[in-house]
Structure 1
Amino acid sequence: MPTAALDIIDRYFTCEFTTLGRGGAPQTWPVSPRLLTDGRFLVATSIGLPQKAFNIRRDPRVSMLFSEPAGSGVATPGAVLIQGDAVADDAVVTSFTDPDFAALMRTVAARQPAGAIWHSQVGRRVFWSYYMRILMHVTPRRALYWPDRDFTSAPNELDLAEVRRVD
């Protein structure tokens, strides 16, 4: 995978996460995913807003479009589209002892420094429900890359084996 494409995945603050609703219509939310070392992506949703998990359990096909470079510091902004299959965990995670969840929360905290209170000891006590999350893992099946975000041009297809990397 070109370094620029991995840079987009690592540094864009959010992506547009799309699932399929009950009737098959796409439903899209901004999320802050984390690329795991095994090549899967981790996304979490609050137990108060579980629609993403419900949709995934009904139809695992999802997409993640990394298209908005604002605040990322990426020198040459492009876009990456990941299409894949997701699994929504049955368990609700509430503890930082889960290494994937802890890594995701570090990613979110780094991307949203204004929300530091949420991640402090006080924040975790007062806003405890914020940390009641359903984890969703996305296994990529296809990855497309637009080096200049020109969606009228044909994208480059990326080699999924190159997504795997060690933090």
Structure 2
Amino acid sequence: METTAETATRPRQDEWTSHLRSHGRRVTKQRLAVLDAVDAVPHATAEDTVRQVRSVLPNMSVQSVYVVLADLATIGMVSKFEPPGSPARYEIRTGDNHHHAYCTRCGLIQDVPCAVGHAPCLTPSQDHGFTLLSAEVVYRGICPQCQHDIAADTLVAQ
């Protein structure tokens, strides 16, 4: 008998299966486990993904997870971005050219919709003849919780 969780994940896995096959990739338990892991933990590092995958496939090597992540990024099934001073992060959300807000104090990452207009969201002063496909923006700042903590620390120090 199917559980509700199994039924709920089937449409997503059917979509992934179709995408993998359309890009000439075999549908393997390793690829599906990595996709499940990235889907479960948005903005995860590769190491976070390894831990998540190993809860399902304990013998999958770190190198294999990195290889699968790189391949999935190549075919557009995951996106990779690199916040300043932090390891690369991966997410399932692709194709919408969203951006990220990154807390320089605690490392919290939040998605930010497209900055302005249609993708690539930013119009450069010079495109050097490129046909621009996307723009990657990382807004650096201090998240609300860290702002609150800083204010509380300041009050205690007075």
- Structure 2 length-normalised TM: 0.28
Whichever structure has more strand as a proportion of its residues is 1
- Higher Cα Rg: structure 1 or 2? 2
Quick one: higher RCO (CA 8 Å, sep 6+), 1 or 2? 1
